[in-house]
């Protein structure tokens, strides 16, 4: 009989997989512009409650680093809520594919959606111990191109494009003024450290991939 924690993780991961699958379906028509993807943009923004994953890791419900879970959640939440939703000149890409501005937001959401559908589906089926080998392979292979695509031409390029608008409008000046700095300076600092923080997460998944490969090889030899 499944434990309550297993049932909870199964439900959580299944809901997340479904949510990202819906977002992906709404993004696909965007490959034939000009199609609106405003609805998928809203779905991606509303999934920021993935903060629960940090809590899961902190209380030992899952075997992962709470810091890495928090960094991923924090980075995505900041990107969607602080940048894309607050700067129309950047966020409009999320409403009209490739027609206006840069496709960087679309690239970000597409990379996120594909990788998360795979990741959460893998987690859900692993909880049930019925995950097929091909999905495990996809989980630890698809991230290799998807993560860099989502970060480089996606998130970082979008934030870079936002810098002039942030500086001109003195965005969030009330909050950052308390710390004797501007949001523009903060965003520049974020862009400077982003590759290093992202590399930590990237290498972490690579280590898990390598460990999985060794485990699989040992089973085959046995």
For the question of residue 194 being annotated catalytic, the response is no
Instruction: Give this prediction's pTM.
Output: 0.86
State the average pLDDT for the chain: 83
> Which CB contacts under 8 angstroms, 24+ apart, belong to 203-208?
204/65, 204/68, 205/140, 205/143, 205/147, 208/140
Please state, in angstroms and rounded to a whole number, the distance separating the CA atoms of residues 73 and 16: 14
pLDDT grade, residue 163 (50/70/90)? very high
Instruction: Compute the average pLDDT of residues 147-153.
Output: 94
> Which CB contacts under 8 angstroms, 24+ apart, belong to 119-126?
119/143, 120/13, 120/14, 120/16, 120/17, 120/20, 121/13, 121/17, 123/9, 123/13, 123/17, 124/9, 124/10, 124/13, 124/14, 124/17
Kindly report, residue by residue over 165-189, the tens digit of the pLDDT.
Answer: 999 999 999 999 999 999 999 999 9
pLDDT for residue 41: 55
For the question of residue 155 being annotated catalytic, the response is yes
CA 127 to chain centre: 21
pLDDT grade, residue 8 (50/70/90)? very high
Do residues 121 and 135 lie in contact, with contact meaning Cβ atoms separated by under 8 Å?
yes
Please state, in angstroms and rounded to a whole number, the distance separating the CA atoms of residues 201 and 72: 8
In this prediction, what percent of the chain has a pLDDT beyond 90?
Answer: 50
Among the listed residues 53, 155, 160, 202, the single catalytic one is 155
Quick check: 3 pLDDT over 50?
yes
pLDDT grade, residue 42 (50/70/90)? low
Please state, in angstroms and rounded to a whole number, the distance separating the CA atoms of residues 118 and 132: 12
Among the listed residues 137, 147, 168, 183, the single catalytic one is 147
CA 101 to chain centre: 22
Quick check: 29 pLDDT over 80?
no
- Please say whether the dihedral angle defined by the alpha carbons of residues 61, 62, 68 and 70, taken in this order, is positive or negative: negative
pLDDT grade, residue 105 (50/70/90)? confident
pLDDT for residue 99: 37
pLDDT for residue 39: 45
Kindly report, residue by residue over 183-206, the tens digit of the pLDDT.
Answer: 999 999 999 999 999 998 899 889
Give the residue extent of every domain in the chain.
Answer: 4-220
* Other beta carbons within 10 Å of 75: 17
Please state, in angstroms and rounded to a whole number, the distance separating the CA atoms of residues 187 and 210: 34
Q: Which of 62-66, 102-106, 122-126 has the lowest mean pLDDT?
A: 102-106
């Amino acid at each position: 009989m499944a434990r309550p924690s297993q049932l909870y993780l199964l439900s959580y991961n299944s809901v997340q997989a479904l949510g990202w699958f819906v977002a992906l379906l709404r993004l696909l028509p965007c490959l034939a512009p000009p199609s609106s993807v405003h609805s998928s943009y809203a779905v991606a923004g509303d999934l920021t409650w993935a903060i629960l994953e940090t809590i899961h890791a902190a209380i030992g419900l899952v075997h992962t680093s709470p810091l890495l879970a928090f960094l991923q959640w924090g980075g995505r939440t900041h990107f969607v809520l602080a940048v894309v939703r607050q700067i129309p000149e950047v966020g409009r890409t999320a409403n009209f594919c490739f027609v206006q501005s840069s496709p960087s937001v679309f690239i970000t959401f597409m990379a996120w959606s594909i990788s998360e559908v795979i990741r959460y589906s893998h987690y859900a089926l692993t909880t049930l111990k019925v995950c097929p080998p091909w999905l495990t392979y996809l989980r630890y292979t698809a991230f290799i191109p998807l993560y860099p695509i989502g970060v480089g031409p996606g998130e970082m390029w979008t934030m870079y494009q936002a810098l002039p608008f942030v500086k001109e409008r003195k965005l969030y000046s009330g909050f950052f003024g308390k710390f004797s700095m501007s949001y523009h300076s903060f965003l520049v600092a974020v862009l400077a450290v982003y590759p290093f923080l992202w590399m930590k997460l990237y290498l972490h998944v690579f280590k898990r991939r390598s460990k999985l490969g060794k485990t699989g090889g040992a089973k085959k030899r046995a």
